[in-house]
Amino acid sequence: MKRFAILAVTLVAVAAMAVPAFALDFKATGSMYARGFMDSNASVNDATAQSDTYMDMRLRVNPVLTVTDNLSISGRVDIFEDVVWGTNASYYDPTNPDVAAPNFDRLWMTIKTDYGKFDVGRLNAKTFGTLFMDSNSPADRIKYSYQLNEVVVGGVYEKGEENDGSNVTSDSDYNKYFLFGDYNSDMIKGGLLMGFYEDKSNSDNIFSANPFDREFWFFNPYAQVKVDDITVSAEAFYNTGKWAEYDQKQYAAVNNGVEDLDYDALAWNLEARYNMGPFDFQAGYAWLEGQGEVNANTDTVTTLGTLGKDWQKLWILTGNEDENVYKAGAGSVGGLGGGWGNLSDESMNGLGVNGAKIFYVGAGFKPVENLSLNILYGNAKAEAPLSDKWSDNYGSEYDFNLVWNIMDNLSYTFIAAYLDAGDFFKDSAGMDKVDNTYSLFHKIEMTF
């Protein structure tokens, strides 16, 4: 043990002396914020009306270690993320589930060559084109990209799940493959992301009562055109293939009589913006296909189930920051509508399974350089509710947003949102009376 300790100390000392020789460069960027939330009866049920108020904070650090001009290591760590004030001690305690450990959720190396760039490790995923349908999240990936002037092309291999060594009878894992092309100029931006999802994570009886495979194709084109002060953008998502295929011979008896499920789902967004000095105007329409009435004859999954966590166009109906609203069954108020969550929920149990048709208009004003004021109105309906006995009216939302850049690297954000809740929630939850809801939010954030 003593020899091992001496060897370890020697190696550390050698490494420390070697650092200047390699001319390593370490830098870090990030932010820290404190946030406050107030939700007035997010369940929108008049019989169980209650409000919810809380605060939390987070420190995010993005370290970058540059080895040479062509080699670097990058990462991201979040500290005290989503830890509500008053529920935890001031330090990390592994015996206390209310205290969050530092979450090092991204770590990758970048290798630049004459033939393109490779990023290998746990990278950002679920982002392409505009923010519509994006849900920035970590994934284990090998990404290759090559840039020629305004064009970037490349491919990605992503490991979604690995179950080798889990005492299963086959390689029950989940792999994703992508090809992409992107064009970026001052006037025109556009591109196409194509993917193939090969999901065998439920292929064995240990994971599913009815083992199945899932394979489908993914298409995501987008375009953005800017002419003078007018910008028009459009983006679409289309998934097609097999949602569940019960074709394994060894499970023929278990799956007897179970029908395959196809996958055919579409979503799209069209938006126009006009900038006129200190004023900014926008109008848009978002469409998300719904599942429709659920019955024994359903043989196709027809919804993507979410508008993405990054597309926070409407604070209550599509926002992601307020967990009591956007997650199905979250918080003491049970999520929007008492259990649905909102249209950014990705669980396939949220509001998005009913689809969406959203029309929105908004305006912004910057009275001074460091202050911006924005208002937005949106009307939302279900595209195809799970029951034809339910109203398709989600309601109308009115949002006010203020961003004040107090000084360099310090900003304050205030949001007030009001939802005139529609009868969809009344019908789907069996309420006697729908109660409208409002939400207040403020955040002070320091960046570095």
DSSP symbol at 434: B
For the cut 90, the answer to whether the pLDDT of residue 294 exceeds it is no
Q: Please provide the DSSP assignment of 359-427 as one string.
A: EEEEEEEEEETTEEEEEEEEEEE-SS-SSTTS--EEEEEEEEEEEEEEETTEEEEEEEEEEEE-HHHHH
- 215-239 burial code (b ≥16 CB/10 A, e <16): ebebebbbbbebeeeebebbbbbbb
How far apart CA 386 and CA 366 sit, in angstroms, is 43
Give the residue from 324, 345, 314, 402 showing the smallest Cα distance to 37: 324
Amino acid letter, 13: A
Question: pLDDT tens digits for 197-235?
Answer: 999 888 887 777 888 999 999 999 999 999 999 999 999
Higher pLDDT, 348 or 312: 312
Residue with tokens 């939010």: 441
How far apart CA 59 and CA 90 sit, in angstroms, is 14
**Residue 150 CB neighbour total at 10 angstroms:** 12
For the cut 80, the answer to whether the pLDDT of residue 333 exceeds it is no
For the cut 80, the answer to whether the pLDDT of residue 71 exceeds it is yes
End-to-end CA distance of the chain: 43
- Binned at pLDDT 50, 70 and 90, residue 12 comes out as very low
For the cut 90, the answer to whether the pLDDT of residue 236 exceeds it is yes
- Binned at pLDDT 50, 70 and 90, residue 396 comes out as very high
Mean pLDDT (whole number) for 264-293 = 96
CATH of 30-447, one of 3.30.40.10, 3.20.20.60, 3.40.50.300, 2.40.160.100: 2.40.160.100
Element (H, E) at 19: helix 2-22
Q: What is the pLDDT of residue 8?
A: 39
Residue 206: phi and psi, rounded to 5, are: -70, -25
Pull the structure tokens for residue 373: 């004021």
Higher pLDDT, 144 or 7: 144
Q: What is the pLDDT of residue 141?
A: 97
- Binned at pLDDT 50, 70 and 90, residue 121 comes out as very high
For the cut 80, the answer to whether the pLDDT of residue 24 exceeds it is yes
Question: pLDDT tens digits for 247-277?
Answer: 888 888 888 888 889 999 999 999 999 999 9
Close Cβ partners of 401 (under 8 Å, ≥ 6 residues apart): 372, 373, 374, 375, 376, 413, 414, 415
